[in-house]
Amino acid sequence: MFLRQITDPALAQNAYLIGCQRTGEAIVIDPERDIDRYLTIASENGFRITAVADTHIHADYLSGSRELVEHQAVHGYFSSEGGADWQFEWAKNLKNTTLLKDGDFFSIGNIRLQALLTPGHTPEHMSFLVTDQGGGADVPIALLSGDFLFVGDVGRPDLLESAAGQIGNMEPSAHKLYESLRNTQSLPGFLQILPAHGAGSACGKSLGAVPTGVMDYERRHNAAFSQALSGNETDFVKTILSGQPEPPLYFARMKRDNRQGPKLLANGELPKPKRISQNELATWISQPNHTILDLRKNRIEFMKTHIKGALFTPATGGHFSTVAGSYVDEADSILLLVERETDVEPAVRELIRIGLDQVAAWMPVDEALALDSATESIPRITTNELDQLLAQQLNAKVLDVRSKAEFAAAHVKSATNIAHTRLASPNSIIPNASPLFIHCGSGLRAAMASGFLAKQGHEVVYVDGAFGDIPKNLLE
């Protein structure tokens, strides 16, 4: 048996390529939308991808399953559990798809996969037991656990409510997750745990950085899993729902599109943005429904000077997808301002993975900034200056763009709290103040939020630095 974990570090997402070395057949589990990566790895290792499966309807990225089923004619395996609202609608009437029930088996060459219904993160969620029958095994070697069981954590059960807007689903989902975790007690302790996410994903709150786990080790050292196996159900529900970070705004759109079917890429290929000139830049800025993403990583330089209306979306550090998905409308045409041409394709990949397909143009950021008439700046102060400047600005307000849990632990007196990933929500009421001092825990989230709010017409002051450096007399 061949097994390869294929990781997207930006979304901390893991897909898996599993191949039967005797027949040359392979399956991809939980692929992202740019499927060329999986096809290349399969070919380089002597396999042809004949099947694809998703563990569930994903919230954090667009699945590549439809690309493989419809553009590559592979066979798709998807859950038919979970009720009417949680079906893979796009796959229902296709000849080369199989809709699975709990306990169903299917084979890829001499590798057998068994579907196990593991609801809680989502109602339709399935995990897959993998048995290498070609190698003579009669017991499974691994559990493809999707967003059900991670290394160091379990899947969050609140997303149907907090991301998809299904009010009242949070607690019932947590109870269902408790039951699903307890149902794993009959599984062998030697099973490898192959999760769909690692540290940095928004699909859990304490995910480990180790790429894979072992069932018995997780039973002992994964706090949430251990609590479900040996603790009180009420206590588990309370613990698992507390401290979950606010999901990025685009999660609701991913749920919708993965259920209905992600739009197929034209000819199965990535968008190819046009390289534009300074003369074209001025026209771009004036157009409605056009968004400019500044991919520089230096937030101080962005505050000093950037193209009017540009968003600070640093290409490094794993924040690009989250902030673009939270601030950019799916219908917007996108211009990328990059430090080097080699930054363009990785950015395009990250954008199409979250359904931002209209990547129309790019240009070097230095060339863009040379057009002085097209630039603007945002005032910047440090956290230890905040008390002095607030005292001088009687009409000012403080906007804290950290999570609710961080805000509850300590915050500036009279500050408003809206997580930076939720600022574009119609339910988020931005304080009507001039100026609006924007801070976070380190300065990074506030930098991204400052660019967005300035584009919306707010008079903002960016507060850079550690929350711990805010003068103590301002805190409560």
Q: Is 129 helix (H, G, I), strand (E, B) or coil?
A: strand
Residue whose entry in the numeric block shows the structure tokens 């930054």: 343
Nearest Cα to 354, choosing from 313, 315, 321? 321
170-195: per-residue pLDDT in tens? Answer: 999 999 999 999 999 999 999 999 99
Whole-angstrom distance, CA of residue 127 vs CA of residue 56 = 9
Cα angle 12-13-14, degrees, rounded to a multiple of 5: 125
pLDDT of residue 169: 87
Cβ contacts of 11 within 8 Å, gap of 6 or more: 32, 60, 61, 197, 201, 318, 321, 353
Sheet containing 380-382: give its strands across: 380-382, 460-464, 436-439, 397-400, 416-417
Q: Which residues contact 320 (CB under 8 A, 6 or more apart)?
A: 10, 295, 313, 314, 347, 350
Q: How many CB atoms lie within 10 A of CB 403?
A: 22
Q: What pLDDT shows up at residue 290? A: 94
Tell me which DSSP letter residue 68 carries.
I
Query: Which tens digit of pLDDT belongs to each residue from 235-286?
Result: 999 999 998 989 999 999 999 999 999 999 998 999 999 999 999 998 888 8
Question: How is 364-375 classified by DSSP, letter by letter?
Answer: EHHHHHT-GGGE
Q: Which residues of the chain fall below pLDDT 70? A: none
Q: What is the pTM of this model?
A: 0.95
Which residue ranges form the domains of the chain, and what is each CATH number? 2-260 (3.60.15.10), 270-376 (3.40.250.10), 380-474 (3.40.250.10)
Neighbours of 366 (CB within 10 A): 11
Confidence at residue 233, expressed as pLDDT on a 0 to 100 scale:
97
pLDDT in tens, 72-101: 999 999 999 999 989 999 999 899 999 999
Look at residue 163 in the predicted model and tell me its pLDDT. 75
Cα–Cα distance measured from residue 462 to residue 377, given in angstroms and rounded to the nearest whole number: 11
Cα 260 to Cα 232, 339, 402: the distances in Å are 38, 37, 33
Q: What are phi and psi of 98, to 5 degrees?
A: -125, 125
Give the model's pLDDT for residue 8.
95
Beta bridge partners of 282: none
User: What is residue 149's predicted lDDT score, i.e. its pLDDT?
Assistant: 98
Sort strands 290-294 and 333-338 into parallel, antiparallel or unpaired.
Answer: parallel
Q: What pLDDT, on the 0 to 100 scale, is given for residue 18?
A: 98
Q: Which amino acid is at 4?
A: R
